[in-house]
Amino acid sequence: MKFTKKIIQHEASGIIEVDLDPFYDSRGQIWSVYQDSGLFPRFVEDKITISSRNVLRGFHGDSDTGKLIACLKGKIQLVVVDARAASNLYGETREYLISDKNPKLVYVPPGFINAHLCLSKDCIFYYKWTKEYTGPEKQVTIRWNDPDIAANWKTSNPVLSQRDTQGTSFKLVKL
């Protein structure tokens, strides 16, 4: 069974969007999060975060790790920013609304930073990594409200971790 509706490959940035086409019946729905189609690199680790409304995680990233992102439950706002020093798209921001009702996969290449905000009562954020997670000290953390990113967050008062409240300026980061 194929669960893919549309694939959009952004050649310049390397971002890949996959609109999914779930199967629905009286029991609920089924859709594939990942299929080895040759579109993506090899993944070595899966991570899950469970958050409640207005929890914002990120901006985080590094120069080595690609991530395939999905929202398994609830609704999230995902913001992705090109932080590659040599990229002519440096600073370009893309925003996605992803939910279990409108499933989508977004591949975020190495050299990008990403953040997500839980927009529903709770949400489950699922992502596959191309490298093992080695801790926050091996990643950059950018302020969630950095004016150079100018993300259009759907909250003005997010719930943040200590790490995210102490993020640096985007201007200081080139991956």
User: Domain for residue 64, yes or no?
Assistant: yes
User: Domain for residue 147, yes or no?
Assistant: yes
Collect all residues with Cβ–Cβ distance below 8 Å to 130 and sequence separation of at least 6.
41, 42, 43, 44, 64, 65, 66, 67, 110
143 in Cβ contact with 168 (< 8 Å):
yes
Query: In whole angstroms, what is the distance from residue 141 CA to residue 55 CA?
Result: 16
Query: In whole angstroms, what is the distance from residue 84 CA to residue 66 CA?
Result: 13
**Domain tally for the chain?**
1
Q: What are phi and psi of 138, to 5 degrees?
A: -95, 5
User: Domain for residue 29, yes or no?
Assistant: no
User: Domain for residue 97, yes or no?
Assistant: yes
User: Domain for residue 43, yes or no?
Assistant: yes
Q: Kindly list the averaged pLDDT for each block of 10 residues, start to end, along the chain of length 175.
A: 77 90 88 79 96 97 97 98 95 96 95 98 97 93 96 97 96 92
User: Domain for residue 56, yes or no?
Assistant: yes
pLDDT of res. 101: 92
For strands 104-108 and 67-73, give the pairing: antiparallel
Write the CATH number for 153.
2.60.120.10
pLDDT of res. 50: 98
Paired with 81 in beta bridges are 93, 113
User: Domain for residue 33, yes or no?
Assistant: no
pLDDT of res. 2: 63
Q: Note down the domain range covering 88.
A: 4-22+39-172
Q: Which structure tokens are listed for 129?
A: 């990594």
pLDDT of res. 1: 46
User: Domain for residue 28, yes or no?
Assistant: no
Collect all residues with Cβ–Cβ distance below 8 Å to 34 and sequence separation of at least 6.
40, 43, 68, 105, 128
